[in-house]
Structure 1
Amino acid sequence: MRALRIERRVAVASGQTWPDAIHPVLRRIYAARGVQSPEEVEHRLARLIAPDRLGGMATACERLDAAIRTHQHILIVGDFDADGATGTAVAIRGLRLLGARQVSYQVPNRFTHGYGLSPALVETILPLRPDLIVTVDNGIAAHAGVAAAKAHGIDVVVTDHHLPGDSLPPADAIVNPNVAGDGFPSKALAGVGVVFYVLLALRARLRQSGWFEGEHRREPDLSTLLDLVALGTVADLVPLDYNNRILVEAGLRRIRAGQATAGVLALVEASKRSTATVNATDLGFALGPRINAAGRLEDMSLGIECLLTDDPGRARELADLLTSINAERRELQAQMVEQGEAMVGRFLGLHGDAAFPVGVVLHQPEWHVGVVGLVASKLKERLHRPVIACAPAGDDSDELKASGRSIPGFHLRDALAEVDARFPGLMTRYGGHAMAAGLSLPSARLGEFAAAFDAVARRLIGPELLDPVLHTDGELHPQDYDIDLARQLRFAGPWGQTFPEPLFDDEFTVTDWRLMGQTHLRLSLRHARQAATLDAVMFGGYAGQPPPARIRAVFQLGIDDWNGRERLRLLVRHIEAA
């Protein structure tokens, strides 16, 4: 495996005049992320791309309008991840605000229905007698499921953001920014973002028709849904382009003001975060995993109910339950990752680095299908090459379900499409994005698939892409080790995919260190140009050896606010001998 290389981002000067309140370091950080003017960090909702620019919107809203006016039963079919759960909650809350009287939901069971709107799920929901199915965060590949619903006289509106295949399902309307030819400027909307846009367009249609002019109807404020939109967008790891940053920042403002839904506030409390300082990182690493855990190990209905309830007590009960499920998930994940690392170690010991696959496929018969994506993610980080982890689809099943994670420069879903083109029928299903994808295949053909995937990866991945690179924003001047700058950085994002949280690097002398728990390091660091020592922590940084006396560290400028007292603290992400 190749050694990690530290590279500094290049900030391109824009010539724009920035407000004095924006710290020069922050201006440099923005410039390194392509932000050229102060307007590009003004996250005002008025700057959102207009909903009517999404393809299929008029047809979808026409069908939803008719369903609301005639009191038809609208059934939301979500997905079993945080994007699908928040999107389902947004759809239900939003449609009710707009006047729908009969709205319910159904989420497929990962183990009995498979993914999305499948024929098996259609059979399950027939007794509910829906007039209209609206998919959220799924449906673009549900050809058989849509056809089954239509055969039973049920209309289907697909709202999704996943990449389509060669053909589209026979739905009554499809809203997806990634459908070929759709002119929507942002392709990065999450599933929850797409359905929120549908609600915005539907409200405009109802407004124009006079729907809200009666004594008993008032035009609803759909911004009340933005905390859920923010949570789903961040948790789904979609790129935080400008449009998504507007949505996420608006949702974070609601949470910080204590105006979020009861479930989101309860999840913040259960994760031991403060609503006043919650940021996108908290959504992605604390709240999102709790919602996801329900879909991975139990039933995603638990997560959706937490997001739908308006009873704070019930929300706390569900948030606590999700926290306990997430703890179980973490333990199971740690075991599976350890097994995966052992498999890698055995291969390297027998065959060496040169023979190691570029596209890695791992499988253990006892692995849990709900956790393989997390295993792939962890091992992808450590191996710095695309990883697909597989598990049995169920007890006594001859099918495997797999989830993959990729590295920058290798489009995972397109790679699977190439495997499918070369070996038709090898996979029974596949789909996803550039950085994450899922698939199913017969257990007996695992070896064929592993060889085919590695061959495609070897063709598409040059040696330079296998070099793990940690990008930083360079050094800080001594006066920039400052609590005020740390506060600005905390709220200056929202930071996330393709708009990364600021990291800095420099050399320090380790004047003292000690263990926190078994694996965490507490460090006292001194910079050559500073007299004072800096407090620092590195979670998971202890591997049995003391840190070098002189280190090069990659770190975030963080804040320790234990017991309500703020102090500057470096959060170290990587150290190496200087």
Structure 2
Amino acid sequence: MPLPLWKVFQKRGLFSREDLEEFFKPSLKNLTPPEKILGIDKAVFRTIKAYKNHEKIVVYGDYDLDGTPGVALLVSALKDMGFSQIQSYQPSRLQEGYGLHKKAVRAFRQEGVQLIITVDVGITDVEAVKEANHLGVDVIITDHHQPKEQLPEAYAIVNPNQRGCASGLCHLSGTGVAFYFVMALKQQMKKEGLLEREINLKQYLDLFTLATISDLVPLVKENRVLLKHGLLELQRTTRPGLKALLESLELVDQKLLAEHVGYKIAPRLNALSRLEEGVLPLDLLTVTSEPAARELVHKVHDIHKRRKALQKEAFKEALELWEASQQETFCWVWSKNFHQGVISLVATQLAQHLGIPTFVGALLSNGQIVGSARKPDSVKMNLLEVLEQAPLLKFGGHPQAAGFELSQDQVTLFDEHLRAQSFSYENCEKCWNYDAEMSLEEVTPEFLKWLDACEPFGVGFEKPVFYFPAVEVLGLKELSGEHLRLSLGEGFGRVRKTAVWFSPKAQKREELQVGDIVDVLGVPQWNIFQGTKSLQILVYDLCLSEEKKRF
């Protein structure tokens, strides 16, 4: 193993041969047994009862790209296991909003539904579950969101984050919890001789992969094991919709990486639920005809382009509103012009751009504001704790990413509440976080072979960042889009490597000159252009070296 990578593993707590073997060859046999999750046995018992009695079941999932793959996964698995009366439901993001809704529960009862199984939703929906109980409809909640003090009185709750659950599976996505529920259900049905044929659960890992990467849950323990196998399943998926999307993105004939899912596949599917313009993500995940799948994919790309345009307009206006607000330690902006479907993206973009907690709201026609909150890593705070004390109609989510609703007449009170907060910041100015020091000479095909073997990368196991000290700028060329291509050297030009720097800050781009001795933060990668592979360094940041300024 190359020395820089060995230093990375040491820094991340992987020292022994056993640690490394498990890392590079994760085994599905080492997964935590599903029965460790509190409430899962009761959930399995009730579901098998529904199977035996031929009850009508609704799989009710969130509309995002964690809930949607989970709905597709659970519906597919139940049908594969012989359940005959299965239907799915997702609330409209724009018309109904997040959560399990009483109106939907009443409609299910009228249709003869006897059991609701949620995916990625339900843990805070006390009133809706109470309504279901009143109507004689049982509810099984599978969710991963943080519970509040009062839990819904559901028939069973399967949530690794609930109090009393010692499974150690808190890192699972909503779809991950649903997958574990399917694992437990399959085991028990097989034990009772209820399965008509053998079910290979690996066939659902393409959906698990899509959700796990999209929902930005930590790629640790079970998530990493399942994702390693899941990327292979997604690469060879037989689902016509996903297959057609991969083909349109030219991802079929290359190794599929987590970044392909996160930056190419997920944004396009997310756009469908954000805009709700006739095509939803579940349509693409469940379509059975290849011609219909290709037609859907064309619409997916069109809607994605529109989402990007709406986000660009909203970000521009949001930045202008913040600059006029005299808010220094946070950003709270809202507008009737913001499309509700892109506010979370704008909040994320603003938090990264400004480096402060960001709250973005879209004013609806009913006078309510639907908002999204995000925070940068440099701010030490829990968004849920901040929102809990605020004058809001509802809120929920995660400590680093949350949603909320308030009425228009609460805007000033909410602003005052945020101004009263004491946000704690880490001073990251001129502070580089990297995994290991590296020389240009160590950037080799062998090194990249090892680095590729470390995939998948993501939250909790990010791609390593390397520090290249005191290298010389031998050449630079401006590319379209205000990007730079650099020629870097060391040993008086004996070793040369190409580097690319996307969207450097204007001042740094203008000041950089040939002959400068610079420190570089980046990662080696393959550049594939017109079928030719070459080594290059992707630059994250660069500054004049403190050792030598310039020859």
TM-score (norm 2): 0.91
- SS of residue paired to 1:391: strand
SS at match of 2:351: helix
Residue deviations 1:440-463 (CA, integer Å, cap 9, x gap) = 11111112112213423x1xx334
**Are 1:38 and 2:16 counterparts?**
no
- 8 Å CA contact 1:270–1:323 kept in 2: the answer is no
Report the CA distance between 1:167 and its aligned residue: 0.5
- Which residue identity does 1:390 align to in structure 2? G
Deviation at 1:150, TM superposition (A): 2.7
Match of 1:537 in 2: 500
Aligned to 1:511: 474
Q: What is the identity, as a one-letter code, of the residue corresponding to 2:54?
A: H
1:475 equivalent in structure 2: 437
The match for 1:546 is: 510
Match of 1:85 among 62, 68, 72: 68
1:19 match: none
- Which residue does the alignment assign to 1:444? 409
Task: Give the SS at the match of 1:524.
Answer: strand
1:254, CA displacement in angstroms?
Answer: 1.9
Q: What displacement does 1:211 show?
A: 1.3
Cα deviation for residue 391 of structure 1 reads 0.9
Q: 1:555 to 1:192 in 2, by over 3 A?
A: same
Question: Residue 561 of structure 1 is aligned with which of 504, 513, 528?
Answer: 528
Of stretches 195-204 and 497-506 in structure 1, the one that deviates more from structure 2 is 497-506
Alignment pair present for 1:261 and 2:239: yes
Give the match for residue 345 of structure 1. Answer: 323
Contact 2:498 2:537 in 1 (8 A): yes
Give the 5 Å matches for 1:451-466.
Answer: 451-456=416-421, 458=422, 461-464=423-426
Could you tell me how far apart the structure 1 residues matched to 2:55 and 2:430 are? 54
- 2:212 paired residue number: 233
- Residue number among 150, 153, 165 corresponding to 1:170 in the alignment: 153
Range moving further from structure 2, 443-452 or 230-239: 443-452
Structure 2 CA distance for aligned equivalents of residues 504 and 313 of structure 1: 46
Residue 197 (structure 2) aligned to one of 203, 210, 218: 218
Amino acid at match of 1:415: V
Provide the secondary structure at the position in 1 that maps to 2:524: strand
| CA distance in structure 2 between the aligned counterparts of 1:35 and 1:472, rounded to whole angstroms | 17
Cα gap change, 1:64 to 1:23, in 2 (>3 Å): farther
Tell me which residue corresponds to 2:346: 375
CA distance in 1, matches of 2:491, 2:320: 41
Aligned-CA RMSD value = 2.2
1:371 partner SS: helix
Residue-pair matches, total? 534
Partner amino acid for 1:280? A
Distance in 1 (CA, whole Å) between partners of 2:437 and 2:409 is 53
From the superposition, tell whether residues 30 and 309 of structure 1 become closer, same or farther in structure 2 (CA, over 3 Å).
farther
Cross-structure match for 1:430: 395
- When residues 104 and 343 of structure 1 are mapped into structure 2, their CA distance, relative to the original with a 3 A threshold, is same
Aligned to 1:527: 490
CA spacing shift, 1:260–1:486, aligned 2, 3 Å:
farther
Structure 1 position 398 matched with structure 2 position 363: no
Residue of structure 2 equivalent to 1:157 = 140
User: Post-superposition shift, 1:345?
Assistant: 3.3
Query: Deviations along 1:475-507, whole A, 9 cap, x unmatched?
Result: 213332112322332341321112111111224
Counterpart secondary structure, 1:552: strand
Partner secondary structure for residue 306 of structure 2: helix
Cα contact 2:56–2:85 (8 A) shared by 1: yes
Contact 1:505 1:555 in 2 (8 A): yes
Q: Residues 547 and 228 of structure 1: is their aligned pair in 2 closer, same or farther, counting only changes over 3 Å?
A: farther
* Cα distance, 1:196–1:276 mapped onto 2, change above 3 Å: same
Residue 497 in structure 1 maps to residue 459 in structure 2: yes
State how far apart, in whole Å, the 2-side matches of 1:576 and 1:466 are.
15
Q: Distance in 2 between matches of 1:301 and 1:201?
A: 33
Which residue type is aligned with residue 303 of structure 1?
A: P
Deviations 1:212-261 (A, max 9, x none): 3xxxx1120011000110110010011112221111111012234x2453
Q: Kindly indicate whether the alpha-carbon contact (under 8 Å) linking 1:133 and 1:156 is maintained by their aligned counterparts in 2.
A: yes
What is the Cα deviation at residue 50 of structure 1? 1.0
Superposition deviation, residue 164 in structure 1: 0.8
- Mapped to 1, the partners of 2:428 and 2:321 lie a distance apart of 20
Deviation at residue 547 of structure 1 after TM alignment? 5.4
**Aligned residue runs from structure 1 range 37-186, under 5 A:** 37-41=19-23, 42-126=25-109, 128-186=111-169
Question: Partners of 2:241 and 2:413 in 1: how far apart?
Answer: 45
Look up the SS of the partner of 2:38 in the other structure. coil
CA contact (8 A) 2:361 2:370 kept: yes
Structure 2 residue runs without a partner (length 5+) = 546-551
Question: What SS is found at the alignment partner of 2:163?
Answer: coil
Which residue of structure 1 aligns with residue 261 of structure 2? 283
Partner of 1:15: none
**8 Å contact kept, 2:43–2:140:** yes
Higher alpha-carbon deviation: 313-322 or 526-535: 526-535
Q: Matched residues in 2 for 1:467 and 1:450: separation?
A: 28
The whole-number CA distance in structure 1 between the counterparts of 2:67 and 2:491 is 50
Q: Residue type matched to 1:228 in 2?
A: L
Which structure would you say has the larger RCO, counting Cα contacts within 8 Å and 6 or more residues apart? 1
1:509 CA displacement: 3.0
